[in-house]
Amino acid sequence: MENRNLSKALEIVSKLIVGEEISRDSKETASLYDEYMDNSEVYDITNTICKNMNLSLYEYENSIFASAGENNRVFGYSNDELKKEIGVKLNRELFLCYFIIYNVITWFYNDTRNVTFNEYVKVDDIINSVDSSLSGVINNLSVLSLNEVEENSFKTIALVWEDLPIVANEETNARAARGSKVGFVKMTLNFLLKQELLIENNERYYPKKRFKALVSNYFEEYKGRLYEIMK
């Protein structure tokens, strides 16, 4: 192993673990991208380090991204940390946020195809999507093969959602808060913005390349039981 190759691999990993994108289109990281793609030893060292750190690497449109692996306590979030980051207090509220994120994903993709269905999503679109998907599951509990935990989880999410007004008051621009459907959706979207997954312009939310990379790779591997129920 050459010291130079180890140094390049460590430089790549050091950028990825803080959320930076290694891209051929970036002046700052184009040379690192080329090292990763063209130098087999740099490629192998980088992947070995990331595997040992429980990080998953994704390649998408001339870019490389990293994501925390399952149960990664160092680079991922615990439930309590995630509740604090999003701004909710209860587990059932966090699960509702998970469900909102799922609906954001399926607004753009119904599988792992690289072509999105929609260019952007708005808050009202997400509210309507959550309304529809929850209603579909609750109305079909008798025919869905759900275990007791799954059935109770959907009922709990539905109860939290249905108890919320559209907005907390008559203000035109509802804020991100736990008191309304709009507020919950905005809190969730703010989290996705902070994670560099979406970008917002005039209340329209567009998927960034990182979002597309994760959906095209991670979602296919881990979509699991929820996707089976919702499809």
Q: Where exactly are the structural domains of the chain?
A: 3-68, 79-230
CATH no. for 3-68: 1.10.10
Q: For 75-86, what is each residue's pLDDT tens digit? A: 677 888 889 999
Q: For 40-80, what is each residue's pLDDT tens digit? A: 999 999 999 999 988 888 888 899 998 887 766 656 778 88
Q: Which of the residue ranges 59-68, 154-163, 197-206 would you say has the lowest mean pLDDT?
A: 154-163
| DSSP conformation letters of the chain | --HHHHHHHHHHHHHHTTT--EETT-TTTHHHHHHHHH-HHHHHHHHHHHHHTTEEEEEETTEEEEEEPTT-TTTS--HHHHHHHHT--SHHHHHHHHHHHHHHHHHH-SSS-SS-S-S-B-HHHHHHHHHHHHHHHHHTTTTS---HHHHHHHHHHHHHHHTS-SSSSS-SS--SSTTSHHHHHHHHHHHHHHTTSEEEETTEEEE-HHHHHHIIIIIHHH-HHHHHHH-
